[in-house]
Structure 1
Amino acid sequence: MSPRERRAPRQARSRATVERIVAAGRAVLLERGWDGVTTNHVAAAAGVSPGSLYQYFPDKEAVLDEVVDRETVHLEARISRAFVDTLRAPSRGDVVRRNVEALLDAFGEQPAMTRVLADQMPRGAGSRRAAFARRVDELVAAVLAGQDTGQRRPDVMAWVMVRAVEQATIGWVLEDPPVDRADLVDELTLLVTRYLERRWDREVARSTASD
């Protein structure tokens, strides 16, 4: 076993201990932040000895990596479900609005965890954040592909919209600006719907002029 690998629990009692350690790691992380966590803090919060913790996790990074991985999986599933649900909305503007609200709900539920994910999971090529964003891109592009977008590429449109909305919603959660949530939702909805409608109108006008 390499220094960073953790021992996989085989018995129910061992699995229960691991779950307690991970839950404690999450609580301590939210309380103290990444740099403030130590294995002693986690062990104490889990009600186990440091030696017991080291049986399953070689260091604090291994504990926190597991916490972050689980949180990311949960966040991905929540946002994906919310996005699919919004496709039943009666209009394009309603679809956009509901997705903006879903992102704000997801990122705003645990601002401290959102900050950890943003800080500890930079979006580089091959990262989990990049992979998740690509999945959302694909969902949005699939919706756009079913509409008349003129000569515009749905995948490019999706990339632009997803990044704009994600960055704005995460920034609002982390920066706590003097902007009401309702105003933010209105502005982002207007931004995206106008982008869709105006660019589509431009393509239609170009197509008509060339005929």
Structure 2
Amino acid sequence: MKKTVASLAVMAALLPTFSVYAEGKEQVRKSATTFNVISDIQGDLGDFDHVLKDMNKVTPLSRALIMNGDITPTGQQSQYDDVKRVLNKNKHPENVWSTVGNHEFYAGKWTADGKLSQSTWPNGVTEETLFNRYLQFSGQEKVYHKKELDGYPLLFLGTEKYMKYHDSKMWDEVYMSDEQLGWLKQNLEEYS
């Protein structure tokens, strides 16, 4: 019985730390920082729309939405536009950040008329074009970057080359430059 009472007392003491309360019609965050992380949208816009609606119901005070790669099926500009359209029609946190995934580079596997044709890689699609599309979508200058959320650092990493453009025997292998790895090391040392 003592353990039960002690456990309940600890829970009662901790719960207010992570709770929210209503003040008029506005919800006010007490002390926890909340953010949502999703990945692999890959063109499933119906599910993406549903997830955004659910997140808004479950975590209305979320401070950020992080999309961890494979935002598009193949990295076509129209696919990024579709993701933005669904995002813009839904309530979501002000901060929307992302990382690049391997699917963002798959456009080179397809012909202009939408037929899979890996034998004719890259089908007129340049690596630079694919990176530029992603960077324009993300609003970042590089695939790796740091954001701060309520005083907490968030480090985002990403491949700097789609290796198939550099070695015909490769496809989705990740390439991180010494610069990116040094940046990561410096940030980990700074924040640890």
TM-score by length of 1: 0.28
- The structure whose residues are more often helix, as a share, is 1
More strand by share: 2
TM-score normalised according to structure 2 size: 0.30
- Structure scoring higher RCO (CA < 8 A, sep ≥ 6) equals 1
